[in-house]
Amino acid sequence: MLGRPDALPIEVATFREDVGYSDGRHPDSVRFSSPNEDAQRRDFTINGLFFDPLSDEVHDYVGGRDDLAAGIVRAIGDPRQRFDEDRLRMLRAVRFATDFAFDIDPATWQAIVERADAVAAVSPERIAAELRRMLAHPRRAAALERLRDGGLLAPILPEIDRRLTEPTVRADVERSLRALSLAEFPTAMAVLIDGAAFDEPIAAAFDVARRLKLSNDERDAIVAILRARPWLVRANDELWPDVQPFLAGDHGRRSLEAARAWASDLSEHREALHWCEERLAWPAERLDPPPLLDGRQLKQAGWKPGPEFGLWLGRVRREQLAGRLTSADEALAWIERMRSEA
């Protein structure tokens, strides 16, 4: 019924035929066509099915029903032409195949291998959109393997592709990706970057974020997860004030999820990760209590604003988290004592 608040949006388009793809993405022109002709311009047979809600019929002009039943991703018509029309379709073929555990038709796969380098011409934003879906999916390790085997990873993430030529590195990365539970894209990307054994994983994360034009939030999440790793896998050997900022921060749960994946076959880290899990279960007021002091209170105590503010507030925070200071009055008295003894 029109106007129902719970009704799903319906997108309406006319049947059309595309004419020419000079830029490898957009048709040069379009013209109205029959349903059969419209189906022929689409990417894969499993996407070329039309459902008529009035007659309750599925119209199949391209063999999509058979391929759907057989679990095959097959380009409609000449796969080379389909990929020349839109190079992103090569990534979509890998995503569909891995998401649904389908096979890729041999002729379609061969066309991907032959044209893989051309995916570099696709906009970074569209590439990133496909990678987000692949890496957030439970079969993310299989997607990565297919991207490498098809030659698609090298033009997208060349530094990671080079690292994965080493069998032991590749095995470690795939193990860690499989060990992730249903994870968000930043977590999986952090695991991938760290597993690729970069000497400077933080710098590599910035390079990847810049190339794919990731959002600042995504970039910051990936970097935060990477920075947390060395602290979390040995957390029970560290001082709580050193570990707390990573666990109580915006990306604490993501960071712990990544740490579990990295350490999935290292029993010596299990105790540390269990220690972290216990603390993440603490109430918020215990995990991340409000600071005892702030700059306003130091001013009221007669301090002049300056570089010392941050230094002493940081030291008070550490003492608070360690349980040695419990009130603002105690904190102010402690500062005065420390300053007099210096």
What pLDDT band is residue 200 in, cutting at 50, 70 and 90?
very high
Look at strands 16-19 and 72-73 and give their pairing: unpaired
User: Please, what sign has the CA dihedral across residues 120, 122, 124, 126?
Assistant: negative
Taking each helix axis from N to C terminus, what angle separates 140-149 and 167-179, rounded to the nearest 10 degrees?
Answer: 150
pLDDT tens for 241-263 read 999 999 999 999 999 999 888 88
SS3 58: strand
β-partners of residue 103 are: 72
pLDDT at position 333 is: 92
Residue 16 tokens, joined? 């059309």
pLDDT at position 88 is: 96
In this structure, the chain runs to a length of: 342
pLDDT at position 31 is: 61
pLDDT tens for 30-79 read 565 677 777 788 899 999 988 888 888 999 999 999 999 999 999 999 99
Average the pLDDT over 151-165 and give the result.
95
CB 259 within 8 A of CB 273: yes
pLDDT at position 1 is: 41
pLDDT tens for 300-331 read 888 888 888 888 999 999 999 999 999 999 99
The rounded radius of gyration (Å) of the Cα atoms in the chain is: 27
What pLDDT band is residue 2 in, cutting at 50, 70 and 90?
very low
Residue 7: is its pLDDT beyond 70? no
Q: What is the DSSP string of 119-147?
A: GGGS-HHHHHHHHHHHHTSTTHHHHHHHH
Average the pLDDT over 179-185 and give the result.
84
β-partners of residue 51 are: 58
285/248 Cα distance (integer angstroms): 11
Residue 6: is its pLDDT beyond 80? no
Residue 29: is its pLDDT beyond 60? no
pLDDT tens for 81-140 read 999 999 999 999 999 999 999 999 999 999 999 999 999 999 999 999 999 999 999 999
Which phi and psi angles does 144 have, rounded to 5°?
-60, -40
pLDDT at position 252 is: 93
Residue 233: is its pLDDT beyond 90? no
